[in-house]
Amino acid sequence: MAAQWMMLGLLAVVTAVVAKQKEAVLNMCMDGKHHKSEPGPEDALHQQCSPWKDNACCTVKTSEEAHKDQSYLYNFTWDHCGTMSPKCKKHFIQDTCLYECSPNLGPWVNQVDQSWRKERILDVPLCKEDCEQWWEDCRDDLTCKENWHVGWDWTTGNNRCPKGSMCQQLKLVFPTPKDLCEKIWSHSYKHTTYSRGSGRCIQMWFDPKQGNPNVAVAKYYASAGQGSAAHLPWTVVALLSPALLALL
């Protein structure tokens, strides 16, 4: 009987820890190259990053660099096949701001073993309007690669098209909005049929005067259990299995 009460107590502790971990993913910064250790207010984030100034994972400096054609953030240039159009570049800046600044991506954060980051996002459900408008505004711009995460020529210190590649219209490299959103950053995003305001998809950008809609979206997916295992401490996992077996 004493053993059973001990196990029940252990399960209660584990349950409390799991609940706390689920709550934590609703307001967190991933372990990335330029992310803050925890979200907090910033005085004035730059332009496209401004919606997150009340609670941000990025600094003012990071938000400024996100808007440069070639910044110190990753030495990455959008203009690898000539100058990218302003209407297209706007979406890539918003994409960068979401990645660097949002504290609402916790349900999709996964651990990775990379020199420049320990965590990344995977399959973030992006609203269909964001995917479609991104593709529409960039379809006639040029690129030479499908996956922009890997495979570049970095011999000059900046990303250049790899030998043998050819610059062509983005709509030929990514025939559909789904192709663009899911393939360009190795499945960081997931194309969805959900619309803005549905509470089921992340908006790449929003009007801060209307509040941050991504807060409710993160809460919905965290409640559904998505991503919580990625943040479950190994000590809890180690304790949980024997406790359950002992009660069987």
Instruction: Say how far apart CA 32 and CA 145 lie, in whole Å.
Output: 24
Instruction: Say how far apart CA 12 and CA 153 lie, in whole Å.
Output: 53
Mean pLDDT by 10 residues, the chain (248 residues): 51 42 75 89 88 93 87 87 95 95 94 84 96 97 96 93 96 97 96 95 91 94 64 46 50
Decide if 50 is inside a domain: yes
Instruction: Say how far apart CA 107 and CA 229 lie, in whole Å.
Output: 9
Instruction: Say how far apart CA 57 and CA 30 lie, in whole Å.
Output: 8
Decide if 2 is inside a domain: no
Task: Look up the pTM and report it.
Answer: 0.81
Decide if 185 is inside a domain: yes
The pLDDT assigned to 117 comes to 80
The pLDDT assigned to 134 comes to 97
The pLDDT assigned to 8 comes to 47
Decide if 125 is inside a domain: yes
The pLDDT assigned to 2 comes to 55
Domain that holds residue 218: 35-247
Which CA distances in Å does 146 have to 66, 106, 141, 161, 185?
21, 26, 13, 11, 9
Which CA distances in Å does 62 have to 28, 59, 93?
17, 5, 12
Decide if 68 is inside a domain: yes
Q: How many domains does the chain have?
A: 1
Decide if 233 is inside a domain: yes
Neighbour-count burial of 167, counting CB atoms closer than 10 A to its CB (0-12 exposed, 13-18 middle, 19+ buried): middle
Decide if 239 is inside a domain: yes
Decide if 78 is inside a domain: yes
Sequence-separated (6 or more) residues with CB below 8 Å from residue 9: none
